[in-house]
Amino acid sequence: MQDKISQLRMLTVAPQSLFIGGAWREPVSGGAMDVISPIDGKKLTTIGDAGAEDVDLAVKAARAAFERASWSKAAPAERKKVMLRIAELIERDALELAVLGVRDNGTEITMALKAEPGSAAATFRYYAEAVDKVYGEIAPTSETVLGLIHREPIGVIAAIVPWNFPMMIGAWKVAPALAAGNSVVLKPAEGASLTLLKLAALCAEAGLPEGVLNVVTGRGAVTGEAIGLHGDIDVLAFTGSGGVGRRLLEYSARSNLKRVYLELGGKSPNIIFADAPDLDLAAKVSAYGIFRNSGQVCVAGSRLLVERSIHEQFTAKVVAIATQIKVGDPLLLATEAGAISSEIQLEKDIGFAGQALAEGATLRAGGARILQETGGFYMQPTVFDVTPEMTLAKEEVFGPILSVIPFDNEEEALRIANSTAYGLASAVWTANLSRAHRMMRGIKAGIVHVNTYGGADNTVPLGGVRQSGNGHDKSLHAMDKYHNLKTGWIQL
Ligand code: NAD
């Protein structure tokens, strides 16, 4: 496979345009943006820099497709067929898509293959199979009436997604929205648009009617803002940072009160009790749970809470793994952690490390930029001993930095775990079943792993509480975001 990857990485990537109403179109302004590969800092290609006019054209195309009803009112079995075909086409082109995505955002290829085309195909298949299995309801009314609860597609859904896993997160929104019969306008992140443009082409090849999926690339503050403020978008589904999430709520308030669903950041606690069944396994999973994709994972276990009696011993194990993780060229199969997505993000990460030192945190591993000679953006897996008050114990870095915090007992572990503004993911490592359940009830988070970290599939929801967001991606629950409920009340 390495040979094939090496061939694919040499391919020239043509300049990209926007996908609107089933056709490729240049932005009205003619604007384009450079795509810089984080692997070597070199220009890979250009993408369209869509303005408000382009967003308007995409929304009009989406609305027209919805009204035409060739998708929104197609028989569920028909929609299912097309969506299953989309999954097959993603799988057909999986390696090409994965390599293209890695050249764009720097994720190591082993993870990209699994998490990007692999997971996107699985997501399309999951919702394809759900299309004709999600029913309306008959309400438990008195004998004299019949109460019907219909599920209807809503109309035009906009999805704005981040750069860390564009295909996976894009599919988490596009697939259930399409399954429910809606039209979609998708805006990828500036640093990861290429695979989602390819997805648009695959959807067209699979027979998705024109205008049902539109992809507009461009800057958040321009293209994204135009989406947020558009008066004919019914739902805005977002994954990204809390700061942008706040803006989207404002845009909604200033425009048409579109529903806004937010999947935001986290500072997820990974809690190791001294009675964890296998401390070596816990150390390995914990290290990879933060350092894969160089920490650019929303659910990354970025706070390691360790019971004091094993704190030194356990931290030493994690540090030993961190210093051995192979960071480098993300297109080599042996690489375990790829590039940081952009120079700006790298500088931000290095800045966090500097601030931690200034606040008195103890550096246990890493802390520096590496492989500068490649021209790319790489950072060592970094471990700090911190106290709960320090910035690094509270703020999301979204990079390869792990904060280790000791605790004395279950109560204190819970208090520290819940001491940030976030509530996305978490984990508890213990052999004590009652403690695992107590912690699961007590931790404020959308997911609590027990004796593992990550790996949850499409059957379960992913969503945050508190400032990690509202709503859920994945599972049948995600379809609730893309359906209106309509009541029929019939006097008998
Ligand atoms: P970001 O918020 O900077 O950007 C996300 C998207 O929003 C991009 O497409 C961007 O172009 C767009 N955007 C930026 N400014 C905008 C504006 N003013 N109006 C409208 N759109 C705008 O986030 P990012 O740096 O791409 O991604 C990292 C963040 O995403 C982290 O906080 C991470 O935790 C979060 N994330 C969360 C999840 C989850 O499921 N909860 C998953 C992955 C990433």
Tens digit of each residue's pLDDT (9 = 90 or more) over 455-472: 899 999 999 999 999 999
- Locate 421 and state its tokens: 């503004």
> Looking at ligand 1, which atom is closest to the CA of residue 464?
41
Cα 70 to middle of ligand 1, angstroms: 32
What is the predicted pLDDT for the residue at 258? 98
Task: Evaluate: CB of 190 within 6 angstroms of ligand 1.
Answer: yes
Spatial strand order in the sheet of 303-307:
362-365, 382-385, 401-407, 303-307, 269-272, 427-429, 449-450
What is the predicted pLDDT for the residue at 50? 98
What is the predicted pLDDT for the residue at 47? 98
Give the residue carrying structure tokens 């609730």.
480
Task: Tell me the best of 47, 195, 239 to mutate to test the pocket of ligand 1, counting ligand atoms within 8 Å of each CB and taking the most.
Answer: 239
Task: Determine whether 280 is exposed, middle or buried from the number of CB atoms within 10 Å of its CB (0-12, 13-18, 19+).
Answer: exposed
Cα 220 to middle of ligand 1, angstroms: 9
Task: Evaluate: CB of 263 within 6 angstroms of ligand 1.
Answer: yes
Residues 108, 190, 210, 298: which is the catalytic one?
Answer: 298
> Looking at ligand 1, which atom is closest to the CA of residue 424?
41
Residue nearest ligand 1's atom 13 by CA: 220
Which residues, in sequence order, are bridge partners of residue 160? 187, 238
Largest CA distance in the chain: 78
Tens digit of each residue's pLDDT (9 = 90 or more) over 219-277: 999 999 999 999 999 999 999 999 999 999 999 999 999 999 999 999 999 999 999 99
Q: Transcribe 108-128 into DSSP letters.
A: -HHHHHIIIIIHHHHHHHHHH
Task: Determine whether 1 is exposed, middle or buried from the number of CB atoms within 10 Å of its CB (0-12, 13-18, 19+).
Answer: exposed
Task: Evaluate: CB of 160 within 6 angstroms of ligand 1.
Answer: yes
Residue nearest ligand 1's atom 9 by CA: 189
> What is the C-alpha to C-alpha distance for residues 390 and 359, in angstroms, rounded to an integer?
7
Task: Evaluate: CB of 471 within 6 angstroms of ligand 1.
Answer: no
Task: Evaluate: CB of 398 within 6 angstroms of ligand 1.
Answer: yes
> What is the C-alpha to C-alpha distance for residues 241 and 163, in angstroms, rounded to an integer?
11
Tens digit of each residue's pLDDT (9 = 90 or more) over 355-390: 999 999 999 999 999 999 999 999 999 999 999 999
With cut-offs at 50, 70 and 90, classify the pLDDT of residue 213.
Answer: very high
Determine whether 395 is an active site residue: no
Tens digit of each residue's pLDDT (9 = 90 or more) over 337-346: 999 999 999 9
With cut-offs at 50, 70 and 90, classify the pLDDT of residue 44.
Answer: very high
Tell me the pLDDT of the chain averaged across its residues. 98
Tens digit of each residue's pLDDT (9 = 90 or more) over 52-89: 999 999 999 999 999 999 999 999 999 999 999 999 99
Cα 244 to middle of ligand 1, angstroms: 7
Task: Evaluate: CB of 124 within 6 angstroms of ligand 1.
Answer: no
Residue nearest ligand 1's atom 21 by CA: 224
What is the predicted pLDDT for the residue at 22? 98
What is the predicted pLDDT for the residue at 487? 98
Q: What's the average model confidence in pLDDT over 298-323?
A: 98
Residue nearest ligand 1's atom 16 by CA: 220
Q: What's the average model confidence in pLDDT over 89-104?
A: 98
**Dihedral pair phi/psi, residue 213, rounded to 5°:** -125, 125
Cα 452 to middle of ligand 1, angstroms: 27
With cut-offs at 50, 70 and 90, classify the pLDDT of residue 198.
Answer: very high
Task: Evaluate: CB of 49 within 6 angstroms of ligand 1.
Answer: no
Distance of CA 254 to the CA centre of its chain: 27
Task: Evaluate: CB of 399 within 6 angstroms of ligand 1.
Answer: no
With cut-offs at 50, 70 and 90, classify the pLDDT of residue 41.
Answer: very high
> Looking at ligand 1, which atom is closest to the CA of residue 341?
25
Determine whether 203 is an active site residue: no
Task: Evaluate: CB of 187 within 6 angstroms of ligand 1.
Answer: yes
Task: Determine whether 24 is exposed, middle or buried from the number of CB atoms within 10 Å of its CB (0-12, 13-18, 19+).
Answer: middle
Residues 116, 263, 336, 410: which is the catalytic one?
Answer: 263
With cut-offs at 50, 70 and 90, classify the pLDDT of residue 284.
Answer: very high
Q: Transcribe 264-314 into DSSP letters.
A: -----EEEE-TT-S-HHHHHHHHHHHHHGGGG--TT---EEEEEHHHHHHH
Distance of CA 193 to the CA centre of its chain: 14
Comparing CA positions, the residue from 167, 217, 214, 168 lying closest to residue 189 is 217
What is the predicted pLDDT for the residue at 436? 98
- Residue type at 141 in one-letter notation: T
> What domains lie within the chain, and their CATH numbers?
2-264+469-489 (3.40.605.10), 269-457 (3.40.309.10)
- Residue type at 85 in one-letter notation: R
Per the CB < 8 A criterion, the answer to whether 407 and 418 are in contact is no
